[in-house]
């Protein structure tokens, strides 16, 4: 038994019906693509089905019993998410379509007239290890406003290079936006340290927690973030819903994003006034059943315990790093000690392209991701065009890692690398 | 899933020893195509003279399927008239988009028939077509230039 694994791993696996699947050739599914999207436990599926079967109505505007039930279930989802990330107030939790929309909401509204408006001469600081969704919105913002985009580089072992932090974060810096855990390198970044520096110069700190929220205990206040985003489908919840948490003062200073129903206080033909948070940022009918499902998902994770899940991920990651080292010609990108990284491990195998690696693994029922993982600049930093990525989660077993490692040895022999 | 139907020996041979690789002069058009989902890329040049594909040269990064497909394409197209080459292009496109239902014509496609199995793997069809689309684009540009 490897230390740190979830003690009831077999019970947990039974919660995820898809893990029973077999694939072409009779191979059992070995799902190692959870950083891409996580699988869903029965309780999330059942909660969503029950909502659609018994409580479906629009929220906040239907004056009937079903409407009240739907509104209550939807808002309960918000309460559960607020508890999951230890938000000081439920009103600070805004539902979006996904993490990308949440980041775009912030980057767009910062371009518009308001207390926090970014303009010429201002600077926005990101990092070279960001997912494209935390790069492109800031490129758009700085292009539109005449502000300057700057970024932290990376060290050879895949960490943020903080040696020039005082040159990067200056009195011109208005926003610092960074990922908590890299989706490609797995690196866990010192968010608090960077946030403290950013706050000294009065910048706001945006944290992409898409990979952190699934595997680390999150306390938004302790993290140092002013705004923190993540997506539902990576925390065993459904697709179609993301979360934007922001400190009340920040959210109140930002102008509305999308206009429409539900985000208003009153509308006249000349002008409108707006609802308070969170509704100010939730125009139109929201993702209702998705919010209900997300509530069930974070409840499930809280029930298992985020500390226990984190320990499990670290144990599996350490075991995987060890196993991967036995494959000749394999190079892991990112930190090599499991303690300072998350559960996504990207690697290269000399002589086989990642697509071909993934294809051979898939023929044995092993699902991994191949490509640039929406992190082209991070790949370019390490001089590679693409990589293969395995990513584990609370349901991953050491036996699945063994299957991966064996599959990689097989891949090398299939492509006759030793011939 | 029959992996061997995807990775035919011919494909692996072209992958390990690609034909006509590298960028060469002269050329009338150069294009750069990428597959945005996976990041595979190719820079491709065409040299067309008197309606004949005199040369196709390239610098490509990508998987075995995309690399082998590029290599096979240069074998098939160099030396052909532009019209013939366009016909071969169309035949290869139909094979790739045929979901594995199209019987490949060896007289036209030669080594290209090895890609018949790729058509059964929807995620890999784009890999096989990357350089073919680049060639068509570059050739169209070179012909436009000639007219201008």
A384-397 confidence digits (pLDDT tens): 889 999 999 999 99
From A374, A377, A384, A415, active-site residue:
A374
Picking from A237, A226, A240, the residue whose alpha carbon sits closest to that of residue A84 is A237
What single DSSP character describes residue B111? G
Tokens representing B27 are 């050329």
Residue B38: pLDDT above 80?
A: no
Point out the residue among B1, B41, B63 whose CB comes nearest to the CB of A355: B63
Question: Which residues are CB-neighbours of A320 under 8 A, at least 6 positions away?
Answer: A345, A390, A392, A401, A404
Please, are residues A119 and A253 in contact by the beta-carbon 8 Å criterion? no
Mean pLDDT in residue range A154-170? 96
Please, are residues A320 and A79 in contact by the beta-carbon 8 Å criterion? no
Question: Which residues are CB-neighbours of A387 under 8 A, at least 6 positions away?
Answer: A184, A333, A346, A347, A348, A354, A370, A371, A372, A373, A379
Residue A419: pLDDT above 70?
A: no
Of A76-90, A208-222, A277-291, B29-43, which gets the smallest average pLDDT?
B29-43
Q: Coil, strand, or helix at residue A98?
A: coil
Q: Please tell me the predicted confidence (pLDDT) of residue A385.
A: 86
Burial of A45 (0-12, 13-18, 19+ CB in 10 A): middle
Quote the CA–CA distance of A366 and A31 in Å, as a whole number.
6
Q: Please tell me the predicted confidence (pLDDT) of residue A23.
A: 96
Question: Which residues are CB-neighbours of A105 under 8 A, at least 6 positions away?
Answer: A94, A96, A244, A257, A281
CB proximity A357 to B under 8 Å: no
Tokens representing A269 are 């033909």
Ramachandran angles phi, psi of A275, nearest 5°: -65, 160
Quote the CA–CA distance of A382 and A378 in Å, as a whole number.
7
Q: Coil, strand, or helix at residue A353?
A: coil
Q: ipTM of this predicted complex?
A: 0.85
Quote the CA–CA distance of B138 and B148 in Å, as a whole number.
15
Residue A193: pLDDT above 80?
A: yes
A95-150 confidence digits (pLDDT tens): 999 999 999 999 999 999 999 999 999 999 999 999 999 999 999 999 999 999 99
Q: Please tell me the predicted confidence (pLDDT) of residue B1.
A: 62
The distance in angstroms from the start CA to the end CA of chain B is 50
Please, are residues A134 and A126 in contact by the beta-carbon 8 Å criterion? yes
* Mean pLDDT (chain B, rounded): 91
B47-79 confidence digits (pLDDT tens): 999 999 999 999 999 999 999 999 999 999 999
Alpha helices per DSSP H over A224-287: 248-253
Residue A13: pLDDT above 90?
A: yes
A272 forms beta bridges with: A267
Contact B6 A415 (CB under 8 A): no
Band the pLDDT of A367: cuts 50, 70, 90: very high
Band the pLDDT of A377: cuts 50, 70, 90: very high
Sign of CA dihedral A261, A267, A271, A277: negative
- The C-alpha torsion from A10 through A47 and A35 to A286, rounded to 10°, is -170
Tokens representing A264 are 């208003």
Contact B3 A414 (CB under 8 A): yes
Name every chain B residue with its beta carbon within 8 A of the beta carbon of A355: 38, 40, 62-65, 124, 127
Name every chain A residue with its beta carbon within 8 A of the beta carbon of B61: 385
Cite the beta strand spans of A109-155 per DSSP E: 123-127, 148-152
A101-112 confidence digits (pLDDT tens): 999 999 999 999
CA distance B122 to chain A (A): 12
């Amino acid at each position: 038994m490897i230390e740190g694994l979830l003690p009831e791993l077999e019970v947990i696996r039974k919660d995820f019906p898809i893990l029973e699947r077999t694939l072409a050739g009779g191979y059992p599914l070995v799902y190692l693509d959870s950083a891409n999207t996580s699988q869903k436990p029965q309780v999330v599926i059942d909660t969503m089905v029950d909502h659609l079967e018994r409580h479906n109505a629009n929220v906040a505007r239907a004056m009937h019993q079903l409407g009240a039930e739907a509104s209550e279930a939807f808002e309960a989802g918000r309460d559960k998410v607020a508890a999951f990330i230890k938000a000081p107030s439920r009103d600070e939790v805004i539902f979006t379509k996904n993490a990308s929309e949440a980041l775009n909401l912030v980057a767009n509204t910062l371009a518009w007239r308001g207390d926090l408006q970014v303009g010429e001469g201002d600077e926005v600081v990101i990092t070279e290890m960001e997912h494209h969704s935390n790069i492109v919105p800031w490129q758009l913002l700085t292009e539109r406003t005449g502000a300057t985009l700057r970024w932290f580089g990376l060290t050879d072992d895949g960490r943020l290079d903080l040696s020039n932090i005082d040159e990067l974060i200056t009195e011109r810096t208005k926003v610092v936006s960074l990922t908590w855990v890299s989706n490609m390198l797995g690196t866990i970044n010192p968010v608090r340290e960077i946030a403290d520096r950013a706050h000294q110069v009065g910048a706001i700190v945006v944290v992409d927690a898409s990979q952190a929220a699934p595997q680390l205990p999150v306390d938004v206040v302790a993290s140092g973030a002013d705004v923190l985003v993540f997506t539902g489908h990576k925390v065993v919840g459904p697709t179609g819903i993301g979360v934007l948490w922001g400190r009340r003062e920040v959210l109140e200073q930002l102008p509305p994003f999308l206009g429409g129903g539900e985000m208003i206080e009153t509308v006249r033909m000349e002008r409108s006034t707006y609802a308070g948070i969170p509704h100010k940022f939730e125009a139109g009918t929201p993702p209702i059943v998705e919010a209900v499902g997300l509530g069930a998902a974070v409840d499930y994770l809280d029930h298992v315990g985020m500390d226990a899940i984190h320990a499990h991920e670290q144990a599996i990651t350490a075991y995987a790093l060890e196993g991967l080292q036995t494959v000749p010609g394999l190079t892991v990108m990112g930190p090599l000690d499991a303690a300072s990284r998350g559960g996504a491990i990207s690697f290269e195998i000399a002589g086989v392209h990642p697509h071909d690696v993934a294809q051979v693994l898939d023929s044995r029922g092993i699902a991994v991701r191949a490509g640039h993982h929406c992190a082209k600049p991070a790949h370019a930093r390490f001089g590679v065009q693409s990589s293969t990525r395995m990513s584990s989660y609370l349901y991953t077993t050491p036996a699945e890692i063994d299957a991966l490692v064996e599959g990689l040895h097989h891949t090398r022999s299939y492509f006759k690398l030793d011939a | 899933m029959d992996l061997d139907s995807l990775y035919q020996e011919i494909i692996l041979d072209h992958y390990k020893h690609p034909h006509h690789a590298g960028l060469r002069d002269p050329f009338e058009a150069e294009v750069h195509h990428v597959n945005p989902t996976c990041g595979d890329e190719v820079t491709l040049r065409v040299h067309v003279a008197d309606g004949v594909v005199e040369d196709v040269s390239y610098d490509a990064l990508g998987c075995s399927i995309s690399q082998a497909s590029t290599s096979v394409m240069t074998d098939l197209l160099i030396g052909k008239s532009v019209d013939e080459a366009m016909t071969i292009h169309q035949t290869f496109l139909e094979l790739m988009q045929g979901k594995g239902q199209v019987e490949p014509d060896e007289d036209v496609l030669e080594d290209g028939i090895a890609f018949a199995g790729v058509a059964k793997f929807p995620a890999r069809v784009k890999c096989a077509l990357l350089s073919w689309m680049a060639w068509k684009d570059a050739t169209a540009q070179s012909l436009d230039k000639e007219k201008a």
